Amino acid sequence: MTLTTNWSYPTAIRFGAGRIAEIAEACAVAGITKPLLITDRGLADMEITTRTLDLLEAAGLGRTIFSDVDPNPNEINAEAGVRAFKEGGHDGVLAFGGGSGLDLGKLVAFWAGQTRPIWDFEDVDDWWTRADADVIAPIVAVPTTAGTGSEVGRASVITNSVSEEKKIIFHPKFLPAVVICDPELTVGMPQFITAGTGLDAFAHCVEAYCSPHYHPMSQGMALEGMRLVKEYLPRAYADGGDLEARAHMMSAAIMGATAFQKGLGAIHALSHPVGAMHHTHHGTTNAVFMPAVLRFNASAISYRFDQAAAYLDLEGGFDGFQSFVDTFNAGFNIPKTLTELGVTNPDVDRIVAGALADPSTGGNPVAMTAENTRRLLLEVL
């Protein structure tokens, strides 16, 4: 089976090994003549990044890079990125990397032309309509991990460095014009990043599948995304050079991020404040919360997994899926508690308040209250 194709859902996706070679053409399609490549510090000097810059330069598009991006990017990173974009006279962004580089890149393209503070565009009601859509710069996205799916998202998760809260900034034009998914770019990922990002994709699929909202397209996509992670994350983890496994994991990441238009839930609602306050890896934090959240939601979701278990080739319905998650996490050395993850002296009240304020709360199948959310958090601590 060949794993090379072109997709137009949810946006134009050039999928397949070696397709980073088409980066200049992708910029042309997006209408970008002077891109600013935005990525995180860790990727800035890596071969996959310098090779991409070489391709841009050879096509006459320059080789300017901005990499002052934290693992949980914040408004300080965004302000610096906007300055670099304006001072360099750029007309588009090449968002390159994992979730941090992709989210920050999309935000810079959005915010560079606006006049209002970034928090005025938080994903609340119709705040996105405050933006001047005509000055949003075009975006080409190139993921180098397989987890967040930010390359097909219409939002960025940005940490408010003052309040230590993760905020979702939304606009339909955050969606990149062109995405290049080249599994060769993910070959160098360390095992713990492969696991953490892959389990982030899994959490997206699981929570979308559990969400009570109606969206049958997302429901089907979430189910198949879970299957791909189940089958191929162990292979990608065991052999980083397994391009078939890497390709299927990139598909799962796209599917999870597309599926969660249906909703997320308590996993993300709790993971966001923990990550903002304690700077934990997002996907790994999701994985730590998943077993307890499944138990928390069992009364409302067990019937769904009675149906899904057969598709996932698991015995025992919901209980079988719950056991699978425990074993799956253990196979990637995922901590069982937040303490093992490195969270020390947490402010439980602040985390609970942050979780209840998070937009993901509305997609949880069991209503979250201060009392039951506190119990849930303490169980994972």
User: Could you report the per-residue pLDDT of 68-99, keeping only the tens digit for each?
Assistant: 999 999 999 999 999 999 999 999 999 999 99
Domain 5-185 CATH assignment equals 3.40.50.10420: no
What pLDDT was estimated at residue 8?
66
Phi, psi of 86 (to 5 degrees): -70, -45
Determine how β-strand 12-15 pairs with β-strand 5-7. antiparallel
pLDDT digits (tens, 9 = 90+) for 306-365: 999 999 999 999 999 999 999 999 999 999 999 999 999 999 999 999 999 999 999 999
pLDDT reading at 263 higher than 90: yes
Residue 6: which pLDDT band, with cuts at 50, 70 and 90? confident
Q: Give me the percent of the chain exceeding a pLDDT of 90.
A: 96
pLDDT reading at 1 higher than 70: no
For residues 58 and 27, is the Cβ–Cβ distance under 8 A?
no
Parts of the chain belonging to CATH 3.40.50.1970: 5-185
Q: Give the tokens for residue 265.
A: 């839930």
17 secondary structure, DSSP code: T
Mean pLDDT of the chain: 96
Could you please state the CATH topology (level 3) that the domain comprising 189-380 is classified under: Dehydroquinate synthase-like, alpha domain (1.20.1090)
Determine how β-strand 92-97 pairs with β-strand 139-143. parallel
CA 364 to chain centre: 18
Residue 4: which pLDDT band, with cuts at 50, 70 and 90? confident
Parts of the chain belonging to CATH 1.20.1090.10: 189-380
Q: What is the CA radius of gyration of the chain?
A: 20
Classify residue 179 as exposed, middle or buried by CB count within 10 Å of its CB (0-12, 13-18, 19+). Answer: buried
- Tell me the residue type at 342: G
Tell me the average pLDDT across 14-28.
98
Tell me the average pLDDT across 154-168.
95
Is the peptide bond preceding residue 143 cis, with omega within 30 degrees of 0?
no
CA distance 200 to 77: 23
CA distance 209 to 216: 10
pLDDT reading at 7 higher than 90: no
